[in-house]
């Protein structure tokens, strides 16, 4: 009776570095709370980290290649974060939405704003640490970044956190399991939004 719209929607995740965003997104993707979930793969000029796979984690581009594609308007959004360029390929997102995908996208706060401008139907989720102290602990504990990078990320956090109010949802990641369940609930709820249905058709 109620027919679902064929078009999917974007779920954008932003967080200060170290809040646990990627861990949450990875786990939610594994659990698949709604049908047709996928991960939007960004392009970046930042060096590949151990364990990362081209085309799965990122499209790793040289700065020259990245800027060429930028010039051709191939990115929904792009931003310089901690000295590296990141961009969301427009064509891939459009195709996924047309296929009805629920597409998860991890980007920074500047990018989220641009995505919402292009895809107003997007759902914006802000992942926050329970406190700045916990954020610092986590950044140091993962031991991935040099001290200078850790400091740069910590300095950026307050500005990023101040943007949370412009998101649709805020998930405070104190307990990982709780945060994952909250995001699962957000996806299921958004899947039941009245605007995702074509309207009433009586038969």
Site for a copy of itself in 12-71 (CB under 8 A): 33
| Residue 188 binding a copy of itself, by CB under 8 A | yes
Indicate the DSSP class of residue 20: S
- Site string (129-168) toward a copy of itself, x via CB under 8 A: xxxx-------------------------x--xx-xxxxx
Residue of the chain from 79, 128, 139, 150 that contacts a copy of itself (CB under 8 A): 128
Name the nearest CA neighbour of 6 among 199, 197, 203, 142.
197
The minimum distance between CB 18 and a copy of itself, in angstroms, equals: 14
Please check whether residue 121 is in contact with residue 168, taking contact to mean a CB–CB distance below 8 angstroms.
no
User: Considering the complex, what minimum distance in angstroms separates the CB of residue 118 from a copy of itself?
Assistant: 21
CB of 74 to a copy of itself, least distance (A): 31
Alpha-carbon torsion (124, 130, 133, 137), positive or negative:
negative
**Minimum CB separation from a copy of itself for residue 30, in Å?**
18
Look up residue 10 and give its DSSP letter: E
Q: How far is the CB of 126 from a copy of itself (least distance, A)?
A: 7
Answer whether 3's CB lies under 8 Å from 88's CB: no
DSSP string of 116-182, one letter each residue? HHH-TT-EEEEEE-S-HHHHHHHHHHT--S-HHHHHHHHHHHHHHHTTGGGSSEEEE-SSHHHHHHH
Of 36-44, 53-61, 69-77, 126-134: span binding a copy of itself (CB under 8 A): 126-134
Q: Which residue ranges make up the site for a copy of itself (CB under 8 A)?
A: 1-2, 33, 126, 128-132, 158, 161-162, 164-172, 181-182, 184-190, 192-194, 197, 199-200, 202-203
């Amino acid at each position: 009776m109620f027919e679902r719209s064929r078009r999917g929607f974007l779920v954008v995740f932003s967080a200060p570095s170290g809040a646990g965003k990627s861990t949450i997104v990875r786990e939610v993707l594994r659990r698949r709370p709604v049908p047709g979930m996928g991960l939007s793969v960004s392009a970046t000029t930042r060096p590949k980290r151990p364990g990362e796979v081209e085309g799965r984690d990122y499209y790793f581009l040289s700065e020259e290649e990245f800027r060429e594609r930028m010039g051709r308007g191939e990115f929904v959004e792009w931003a310089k974060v901690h000295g590296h360029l990141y961009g969301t390929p427009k064509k891939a997102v459009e195709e996924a939405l047309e296929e009805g995908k629920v597409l998860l996208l991890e980007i920074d706060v500047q990018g989220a704003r641009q995505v919402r401008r292009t895809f107003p139907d997007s759902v914006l989720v802000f992942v926050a640490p329970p406190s700045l102290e916990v954020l610092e602990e986590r950044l140091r504990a993962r031991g991935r970044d040099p001290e200078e990078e850790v400091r740069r990320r910590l300095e950026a956090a307050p500005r990023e956190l101040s943007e949370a109010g412009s998101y649709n949802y805020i998930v405070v990641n104190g307990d990982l399991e709780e945060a994952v369940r909250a995001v699962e609930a957000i996806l299921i709820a958004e899947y039941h939004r009245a605007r995702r249905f074509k309207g009433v058709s009586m038969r």
